Chains A and B, each alone.
Chain A
Amino acid sequence: MKPMTRKLQWTLFLRSLTLQGSWNHQRMQNLGLLWTVLPWLRKNRGDVNRDRIFCRRYYGFFNTNPYLANFLFGGLIRLEEDQDAGLELVPGMIGTFRDSVGRALASLGDQLFWLGLRPTLIMVICLAGLLGHVSAVLVVIGLFTAGQLLLRWMALRKGYDLGMDIADLLIDPRWHSWIGRMKRAGMVLTGMVAGLYLAQVAELGNSADRNLLWIGTVLGMGLPVVLRKRLPGELLIVAALFMALVLTFAI
């Protein structure tokens, strides 16, 4: 196996950042995927027929998690290199690898990033905001940005080094342990935001009837749990306006 050149790694890394740039309802990230791996094809041009087959391989339905996608991209480039070097691969193996690893990474990424890390970080910046630390909001997001870019950079190399053995990485139990930790941290931080918010409501000295405000607060916290509709936040704002009007008439 020849190592991935630094130039190719940089090109793939920068392009992988726009994986979802052409997201569409029909095939989701397919155009972004092909655009990401295209520099490899340009570096290893064959005849038109081979290029067409390469494009076809990456233009079908594709969806994965953008933060973990570079594990897959590294692996795909490794398989392409192996095939180009004359290694016999089972027909359709690259497509199967793309689909199965992509799906596994999508599932892991949803749990780790969207349900684990994102709510946790949002609650951290909300806590900073409730305490009045404006700059801390940007610092926390900046740190996350640096961390996720580093992960994407390292994932590209790791995926390339592992190739087909990426399956060993996916079954590592530490993924799920991290997901559990992230979610628990998010729950505790949600509670901390709620506690800080309630403490600040308790200290309010404005003219509104505080008891009614307490009722509104408790109803507000309970409403999404009771409804279980997972309404978009924008609709919750409208719902909150109706609650505020009811409270106003009650006052």
Chain B
Amino acid sequence: MKDAETYCVALFEAVSHVMKAEKLLKEAGIRYKIVPVPKSISADCGVCVRFLPEHKEAIMEVLQRQVRVIEIRNL
């Protein structure tokens, strides 16, 4: 099951930043998923980008200088 995998999430300042990141990641063909910010991180009604740890470097490469990532967290 997928649930058994470990994931990372990238947190952003604003929903518009998540949308921009989504566009860039889609273009780059990197596997990601938009999910609600886990309750354990924040009770706000936010969204974030979830991905497998092995894609972390590729994702940071694509997003750098284009969208500001506040934080990467392991789930």
Chain B associates with chain A: no
